[in-house]
Structure 1
Amino acid sequence: MDGQIQERLLRHVDGTDVDEEVNLKDKVWIETKKIWVVAGPAIFTRFSTYGINLISQGFVGHIGPTELAAYSLVFPVLLRFANGILLGMASALETLCGQSYGAKEYPMMGVHLQRSWIVMFISSIFLLPLFIFTTPLLKALGQEEHIAEVAGIISLWIIPVMFAFIVAYSCQMFLQAQSKNMIISYLAATSVSIHLLLSWLLTVKYKFGLTGAMVSAIMAYWIPDLGQLLFVICGGCNETWKGFSILALKDLWPVFKLSLSSGVMICVELWYNTILILLTGNMKNAEVSIDAFAICINISGLEMMISLGFLAAASVRVSNELGRGSSKAAKFSITVIVLMSLIIGLVLFVFFLLLRGRIAYIFTNSHEVASVVADLSPLLAFSILMNSVQPVLSGVAVGAGWQGIVAYVNVSCYYLVGIPVGVLLGYVAHLGVKGVWMGMLLGTFVQMIVLIIITCRTDWDKQVTIAHNRVNKWSMGEAKESMPKSEEA
């Protein structure tokens, strides 16, 4: 196996890769197709999954302003907290599976998947107290009492949603690494359609209120999870899933360390918006501030689904090419993905700049909230523009296995620059929600510039060697454990 990988590495180093014989136009077209094989289904899936949150928020918002404010705290704050940890840990699986698939070490991918389930489940157990004690936690953070009480009820309902993330993220990373994520899109489309119908039936027609909205949300998250799980273990991935293995219980510590650094990288980014939402909850007229800011965050998040699709594509393409041994193909893929995402971001920048506050009426009937959203529209547009580049660079980091480095970058840019500036502008300069968002944008901008510098200055030939060593380490470990004693001797 080691000789085969070395052969592939030498083939790419000596310049005889078949890609060298293709002209630039054809190379761009070939790479674009490879990107959209992953990005297309990933974008659709993320829109569908995010649509579950938007549908729930829309129905909850029409139940009452207090319910909307409570929902806007629980989902973007607590659920995003858990989401960040579990999604981050799953991104370690994205690195391992992507590079193993590029190196054609297919059986190890199933073992990586099972190890990821174990690590993520244990992490979820430690997160349970956050959802059980939501009301006293929010009160301690200064939230209004009536909002915190309703938030406590909602948080208990979303515990099953947190456990659904374990299956959802791990199976998605596993399937994306093989470019088999169309099944995820089909399941997500089915789920969001069922959720829309159930939400209307349970909250509008039969008047079950919050209970109806939460029951529908739980079903919407678990339906695609069960479908993905059945697809993986029942014959959809014959090469990469060889059944449950005792190997999944061994060598968990290296997986945990990579998962932890991945979790920190993603968490500090997702929690960034969470902390800013909490800051708005301590302003005057908190209900309007939270509602307006949460609506803008959700609109930005909706656009982010496109960028996250390209993040997935960047991770898969970079990890596959590094595992395959081609540094030039990895660099070329990065260039194409970033430019493609940036062009889409520019179009959406203009669109949302013109639309202004009119889109707020999808989420609320309050003219006061819509007016605040309209005032924030220029900042929303710039946020969308930066979101078209920054997540793609994070995808490059995941594909290369740089999660630890990017974690430090995220902490520095968001928590040492963005949040302090947001507090100064929002509270000291009395700019309110607008000042908080300006701080958020500054932190994101600094982070984006740092990631661009890191990506441009990276020695990609060295990254190929690192990926080769990582794949070789895991594969040799599996071979040793599977080898009969007579052969091992």
Structure 2
Amino acid sequence: MESSPLLKHIDDEEEGNGDDQEALKEHPPLKEFKEGGWPLFVRESKKIWRVAGPITLNGFFSYALNSSIQIFAGHLSAVELSAVSTAFLVTTNFPTVVLIGLGSALDTLCGQAFGAGQVERLAVYMQLSLIILFLSALLMSPVYIFATPILRLLGQDKEIAVLAGKFSVRILPQLFAMAMTFPVQKYLQAQSKVSLLTCITFGGLLLHVGLLGMFVYVFDWGLNGAAAAYNLSSWAVSIAQLVYIIVWHNFAWTKFSLSSTLNEVWSFLKLSLASAMMFCMDGWNMMVMMVITGLLNNPAIAVGSLSICMNINIWINMLFFGINAASCVRVSNELGSGNAKAAKYSIFVIGLTSLAIAFPCLVTILVTRDYFPVLFASSEELQRAVADMAHLLMASVVLSSIQPIIIGASVGGGWQGIVAYINFLCYYILGIPLQFIMGFLLHWNAKGTWGGMLCGLLLQKLIVSAIVWKTNWKDEAIKASKRMQLWVEQKDTIDSQI
């Protein structure tokens, strides 16, 4: 039996020809699925999970780095645990969101460059990202250095603020390790070469736990030892990744002219800032909700129940973390290679995959809603409050399952600026007022603040999903091709001048 034109296109793409692309450009995703059938869906899924699987594990291991410090600190004293947790909230979450946002410009540019066959362009983009992220880390250093007065200004307990400030200063080197880690990860991620990244991060986690045990318990260095272990393990991961791309991927620092560098920096910086705003609008939304919840009556129960639900939500979101990354890679690769409908079909498969992941999570929450709170709290009042918010946790999981579609389309296509404005409108103009109305005026307490935030999330998902649905993907592929063609013309001009 002869294979369908769509299946032939996938075969050609994997073999490197890609000559027969018209078949994939003439059908909407549902018809593509009907024509290509299960084999086409499986092949696209394999491409997605080739990236998503290792990146998901990498996310779990990276999150465990921070969690392990809090576990060790919790065995020192309650005050030191609070200090470490507070330090991470101020000195790690805030800069990490900014660096992830700035670095996500590489998802767009490196992914499209790799799809267009301009592999040497990836090195240029990675170098520019390293420069921008290192400068950004330097500019954000005062947040670490002045953590104590910042925390005191926010009303934090003096003893906790002082300890958190000292710990923050000591983990400042880790900020610059992150600035190196993100560009290298994006460089490899755009090429779907992420398996060894997971091994390196896992090795860093083992090293981190070993150093924590030695510094905290054997040498009795307390939080100073925890900070030293965090810095050493973070830099070990960053250096190992850099050595990996230099030795095994023949990475070389690319030379380019001053005029082309300035043009590239300006274009790259605009996309990086747009990406940072998109991610910051999203990441800070959760922090604002926690602050508002802390103003409610009986804040211990309100914040405690919300924190438990958010903790579960974060772990579930880790399942979508790899899908988000794979979505960026697949969409940007296909747009860069000019395969508009292939990018659209990839989003279709990613959407189905996300919903398939969300379904068992929803069932688990529904079945265990009266039992899982016991794992996190001994207070019966707090347990009842958490169980009473299970339906909101389920709604949050459903909205999270839509996120890979939005991230893949916006980052893969380079729409970060548009989505940043939409995030600001939905989260801060609509969501925050609704949190006050539902939490305070309607007296729904923590359910009200979370419900208000979810309303903003829902509107954001609806607007961006409508944009994705209406997008002319052929035009997006043309834009990506023009961007890559401009690089070729600049390179030819520079080569002729040498």
The one-letter amino acid paired with 1:237 is H
SS across alignment from 2:21: helix
Work out the CA distance in 1 between the residues paired with 2:389 and 2:217: 31
> What do residues 308-364 of structure 1 show as CA deviations (whole Å, max 9, x unaligned)?
211111111001111111111111110001110111112112223444486567777
Match of 1:257 among 243, 266, 270: 270
Look up the match of 2:13. none
Matched, 1:135 2:148: yes
Matched, 1:296 2:306: no
Look up the match of 2:29. none
Work out the CA distance in 2 between the residues paired with 1:54 and 1:480: 51
Matched, 1:444 2:453: no
Q: 1:103-118 maps to which residues of 2 (within 5 A)?
A: 103-118=116-131
| Change in CA separation of 1:462 and 1:184 when aligned onto 2, cut-off 3 Å | same
Work out the CA distance in 1 between the residues paired with 2:73 and 2:376: 9
Q: 1:397-436 maps to which residues of 2 (within 5 A)?
A: 397-436=410-449
With normalisation by structure 1, the TM-score equals 0.88
Look up the match of 2:351. 338
Deviates more, 1:88-97 or 1:216-225: 216-225
Work out the CA distance in 1 between the residues paired with 2:112 and 2:450: 37
> What do residues 351-387 of structure 1 show as CA deviations (whole Å, max 9, x unaligned)?
2344448656777777776665444443223222321
Work out the CA distance in 1 between the residues paired with 2:404 and 2:81: 28
Alpha-carbon deviation of 1:30? 0.7
Match of 2:21 among 3, 12, 24: 12
Matched, 1:82 2:95: yes
For CA contacts below 8 A with separation 6 or more, give which structure has more relative contact order: 1
Work out the CA distance in 2 between the residues paired with 1:205 and 1:430: 51
Work out the CA distance in 2 between the residues paired with 1:378 and 1:428: 21
Instruction: Work out whether residues 108 and 478 of structure 1, in 8 Å CA contact, stay in contact via their aligned partners in 2.
Output: no
Alpha-carbon deviation of 1:157? 3.0
Look up the match of 2:234. 221
Instruction: Work out whether residues 97 and 177 of structure 1, in 8 Å CA contact, stay in contact via their aligned partners in 2.
Output: yes
Work out the CA distance in 2 between the residues paired with 1:52 and 1:191: 9
| Change in CA separation of 1:302 and 1:292 when aligned onto 2, cut-off 3 Å | same
Work out the CA distance in 1 between the residues paired with 2:95 and 2:23: 46
> What do residues 241-293 of structure 1 show as CA deviations (whole Å, max 9, x unaligned)?
33343459543111111111011111111111122223344445656655554
Instruction: Work out whether residues 86 and 166 of structure 1, in 8 Å CA contact, stay in contact via their aligned partners in 2.
Output: yes
| Change in CA separation of 1:370 and 1:20 when aligned onto 2, cut-off 3 Å | closer
Q: 1:175-190 maps to which residues of 2 (within 5 A)?
A: 175-190=188-203
SS across alignment from 1:97: helix
Deviates more, 1:64-73 or 1:385-394: 64-73
Work out the CA distance in 1 between the residues paired with 2:76 and 2:305: 17
Cα RMSD, aligned residues only? 2.9
Match of 1:245 among 244, 255, 263: 255
> What do residues 374-425 of structure 1 show as CA deviations (whole Å, max 9, x unaligned)?
4444322322232122244212210011111111111111111222222333
Match of 1:96 among 103, 109, 113: 109
Alpha-carbon deviation of 1:233? 1.8
Work out the CA distance in 2 between the residues paired with 1:386 and 1:21: 27
Instruction: Work out whether residues 12 and 325 of structure 1, in 8 Å CA contact, stay in contact via their aligned partners in 2.
Output: no
Instruction: Work out whether residues 97 and 279 of structure 2, in 8 Å CA contact, stay in contact via their aligned partners in 1.
Output: yes
Match of 2:360 among 347, 352, 355: 347
SS across alignment from 2:104: helix
With normalisation by structure 2, the TM-score equals 0.86
Work out the CA distance in 2 between the residues paired with 1:442 and 1:132: 37
Unaligned 5+ segments in structure 2 are 1-16, 27-31
Alpha-carbon deviation of 1:108? 0.9
Matched, 1:390 2:400: no
SS across alignment from 2:342: helix
Deviates more, 1:95-104 or 1:367-376: 367-376
Alpha-carbon deviation of 1:77? 4.1
Count of aligned positions: 474
Instruction: Work out whether residues 133 and 152 of structure 1, in 8 Å CA contact, stay in contact via their aligned partners in 2.
Output: yes
Look up the match of 2:322. 309
| Change in CA separation of 1:416 and 1:375 when aligned onto 2, cut-off 3 Å | same
| Change in CA separation of 1:233 and 1:289 when aligned onto 2, cut-off 3 Å | farther
